[in-house]
């Protein structure tokens, strides 16, 4: 009985001290077209795309895809985004993971934007249709 009570107390304390990432209310979609794809060493692939990013306006993205752990069909990426709407511009650093699922690549990213927002991103890279589309939400 003593061990059961201790286990329950430990479990409750772990749950109460855990942290959740909360999505913000400003979720939006970004739809881009792949502009260029290239490799410089056979193991690293680079992609550029451009399109519409909601309130951020026109966006230009660059990604560097790697698989440092040499895991087939998945890896990590870093990148940079530049957006402009009217006279205002924003930049963002991009960092996340990718995984091949069928004929597309699924991306998950946590990005930092110069307007002070941290963004959670989930997207799909479709090389055949030359699109990179994703949902973005501020993290609160």
Domains present along the chain, CATH in parentheses: 20-138 (2.40.128)
Q: Which is nearest to 95 in space by CA: 116, 120, 126, 58?
A: 120
- How confident is residue 140, by pLDDT bands cut at 50, 70 and 90? confident
Give phi and psi for 135, each to the nearest 5.
-105, 140
State the Cα–Cα distance between residues 61 and 34, nearest whole angstrom.
Answer: 9
What does the pLDDT look like over 53-107, one tens digit per residue? 988 999 999 999 999 999 999 999 999 999 999 999 999 999 999 999 999 999 9
Q: Does residue 36 have a pLDDT over 70?
A: yes
The pLDDT of residue 52 is: 95
The pLDDT of residue 8 is: 53
State the Cα–Cα distance between residues 38 and 87, nearest whole angstrom.
Answer: 31
Please give the share of the chain, as a percent, with pLDDT higher than 90.
73
Q: Which is nearest to 105 in space by CA: 137, 73, 129, 81?
A: 73
State the Cα–Cα distance between residues 78 and 76, nearest whole angstrom.
Answer: 7
Instruction: Give pTM, 2 decimals.
Output: 0.80
């Amino acid at each position: 009985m003593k061990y059961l009570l201790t286990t329950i107390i430990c479990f409750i304390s772990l749950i109460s001290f855990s942290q959740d990432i909360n999505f913000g209310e400003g979720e939006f979609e970004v739809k881009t077209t792949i502009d260029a794809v290239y490799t410089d060493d056979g193991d690293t692939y680079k992609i550029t795309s451009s399109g519409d990013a909601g309130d951020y306006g026109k966006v230009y993205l660059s990604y560097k895809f790697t698989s440092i752990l040499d895991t087939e069909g998945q890896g990590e990426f870093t990148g940079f985004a530049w957006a402009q709407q009217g006279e205002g511009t924003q930049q963002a650093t991009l960092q996340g993971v990718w995984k091949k699922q069928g004929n597309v690549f699924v991306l998950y990213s946590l990005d930092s934007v110069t307007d002070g927002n941290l963004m959670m991103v989930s997207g799909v890279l479709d090389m055949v249709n030359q699109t990179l589309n994703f949902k973005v939400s501020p993290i609160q």
